Structure 1
C-alpha cells in the first residue's frame, strides 16, 4: 500500500498569525515541504512573503478553499504529490474559511493524503479586544487538534486565563499552546494524526467581509504613513502588504488597531485592506495614502 502524504491544515481568524507560523516553520524545518495558500484579497501578499524559501508553493486565491475552490484544491494536491512528492503538505486557509468543510473534502476526495491535524492560530490580544466569537471563528476553534494562542505578550495573565477558558468552552480536546510570534516546537505541530470522522458541514460565511488592494511605485513619507496607520478606520480589521520608504521597503501588518513594520525586500508598494463593507471607504483610504507620497524634490 502506498504511504499517504501527511497534510496539516493551518487555520484561524484574519491576522491571528498564520503566515508568521509558516515563516517560523520554514526557518527550522529540514524536511521537504509544500504549502498551499488560500488568501483573502486580490493580491497574494502572504505568498510573496514566503517566496524564495526552500519550499514548493501553490496559491489558491480568488475565493475560499472551503467551498468555491475545493476543485482547485484537490487538483493542486494531486499536482504537488506527482511532481514534488513532499514529506509534508501544509494548507493555510483564509481567515474567513471554515475548516470543517476542508477536512470533510480531504476525507472524501483525497485518498493519497492523510490529515495529520488541524492547527488553529488564535490572537489573544484580538480576543480581548473583540471577545465575541463569531460563527466562523467558533468552527475554527472546534475543528482544532492544536490551538496556538498567539500574541500572549500583549495581554495580562488575568486576560489570558479568561481567553483560555473561553477557548476550552468550545473545544475540550485540543491542546492549547501559548506563543509569541508563533514560536513553537515543531514536534507539537506535526505527527498529531488524530482519527476523526468529519460529517458534511453546513456552511455560513461572513459575507459582510470585503477587501480591496492598493498598488503603486511611489516612495512614501514614513511619518505620514504611520499617522495614517494610527488613524485607520475601525471597520478595517486587517491590512497587510509592502510599503516603500526612502530607507527601504517594509512589510506592513495591521490587526485590530495594532500594526508594525518590518524591513522586507519587495519591489513595489502593494497593500490589501480587509474589513466589514470596507470598499465604501476605499476612495478615502487611497486618497490618504496618495497624500503620503514623497515628491521628487524631497
Structure 2
C-alpha cells in the first residue's frame, strides 16, 4: 500500500500582490489543519508576525530565497512538520522575488512525503496597470501557476481588467484566472487542484532585482506626519510593510506601488521593511525623513 502523501500548496507572486492577505483569508475559512512555511524578503519577518496570532503551525525559513539558497532548509522544515504535527495540508508562501520552478522541481525530486497540490500565483491588478513591464521573475511566477488570483480588481477599470485577463491568459493558457478584492475568494477553488506536472530542472542563476533594509524603534510617531511621509515614498520604494506606533495605537502598514493603508494591529513597537531597486542608495534619506515623524 502506497503511503499517504500530504498535499502541499505553493503561494507565489510579485512583491505586494497580496500573498499574506490570501493566507489570512485561508486561515479564517479553510476548515482543515494547515501548516505554513513562510520565506520572507528582508531582515524582519513581518508576514510571520501577522500570521502568528492565528491558530496555525508555522515555520519561518528566514532570510534568503527558498528557490535557491534555502532549499535544504525547506526540505528539513517540511519533513519536521509532517513528523511532528501531521497536518492535512501544507502551504508555502514564497518571497515576492522567488522563482517557483526550482521549488516545484525540489518538491517532486526530494520530498516523497508530500505531493504538489497546486501553485497559486497572486497578481496585483493595480500594480500591473501602473508597471506593465513583466520582469523575468514575475513571468516565471505566472508561468508556474495552476491558479492565477488576480487581486485588487476594484482598483482598475473594466477595460483594464479585461486587458489584464487577456495578457495573463497569453502567458499561461492552462491556469484558471480568479478575480478578487483583498483575496476574498472561495477557498475550495485553491485546494484539491492536484494537477500532474513534470517540472524540468531549472538552469537559471537567480539574481535578485530588489534590495531591502529594515528599521526598528520604540519611538511613537505623529500619524499625520507619517501619512505625509508614506505619500512621498514612491518611486524610490516599491514595497514597504510593517508595524507603526502612533499615540492611538499600533497599526499594520502596507505600501505597494504608491498605494498604502493602515490597519489596527496588536504588536509591541515599530518595525518596518522597505524594498526597492537600488534602495540602499536611498536608505539614509528615507530614514532621515521617517525619523522626522517621531514625536
**1:255 aligns to 2:256 (yes or no):** yes
Partner of 1:181: 182
CA distance in structure 2 between the partners assigned to 1:279 and 1:23 by the alignment? 31
Gaps of 5+ in 2: none
Counterpart in the other structure of 1:29: 30
Contact persistence 2:37–2:59 (CA under 8 A): yes
Following superposition, the deviation at residue 137 of structure 1 comes to 0.4
Q: CA deviation at 1:123?
A: 0.3
**CA contact under 8 A between 2:241 and 2:253: conserved in structure 1?**
yes
User: Partner of 2:226 in structure 1?
Assistant: 225
Tell me the TM-score normalised to structure 1 length: 0.97
Distance between the aligned counterparts of 1:157 and 1:282, measured in 2? Answer: 38
Asked if 1:140 corresponds to 2:141, the answer is yes
Q: Secondary structure at the match of 1:40?
A: coil
Could you say which residue in structure 1 is the equivalent of 2:71? Answer: 70
Q: Secondary structure at the match of 1:236?
A: coil
Query: Displacement, 1:216?
Result: 0.3
Greater displacement, 277-286 / 152-161: 277-286
2:24 partner SS: helix
In the alignment, what sits opposite 1:160?
161
TM alignment of 1:73-92, pairs within 5 A: 73-92=74-93
Question: Conserved in 1, the CA contact under 8 Å of 2:100 and 2:144?
Answer: yes
Task: Mark the CA change 1:140 to 1:70 in structure 2 (over 3 Å): closer, same or farther.
Answer: same
**RMSD between aligned residues:** 0.8
Which whole-Å deviations, capped at 9, do the CAs of 1:230-279 have from their partners, x for residues lacking one?
01141211000000001100000000000000000000000000000111
Give the conservation status (yes or no) of the 8 Å contact 1:34–1:86: yes
- Cα distance in 2 for residues equivalent to 1:182 and 1:8: 16
2:211–2:276 Cα contact (<8 Å) kept: yes
2:238 match: secondary structure: strand
TM-score (norm 2): 0.98
How many angstroms does 1:125 deviate by?
0.3
Structure 1: stretches of 5+ with no match in the other structure: none
Return the offset for 1:204.
4.4
Instruction: Tell me how far 1:208 sits from its aligned partner.
Output: 3.4
Which 4+ residue blocks in structure 1 deviate beyond 4 angstroms? none
> Partners of 1:15 and 1:287 in 2: how far apart?
24
Cα distance in 2 for residues equivalent to 1:4 and 1:54: 23
**In the alignment, is the contact (CA less than 8 A) between 1:96 and 1:206 conserved in 2?**
no
Secondary structure, aligned partner of 1:215? strand
1:290 equivalent in structure 2:
291
Q: Distance in 2 between matches of 1:254 and 1:139?
A: 24
User: Does the Cα contact within 8 Å between 1:242 and 1:249 map onto a contact in 2?
Assistant: yes
Aligned residues: 294
Give the Cα separation in 1 of the matches to 2:26 and 2:208. 31
In the TM superposition, residue 15 of structure 1 has moved relative to its aligned partner by 0.1
Post-superposition offset of 1:285: 1.1
Post-superposition Cα deviations, 1:122-174, rounded to whole Å, max 9, x if no partner, equal 00000000001111000000000000000000000000111111111110000
Contact 2:234–2:257 (CA under 8 A) maintained in structure 1: no
Question: How far is 1:207 from its partner?
Answer: 2.7
User: Hey, what does 1:203 align to over in structure 2?
Assistant: 204
Structure 1 Cα separation of the partners of residues 169 and 234 of structure 2: 32
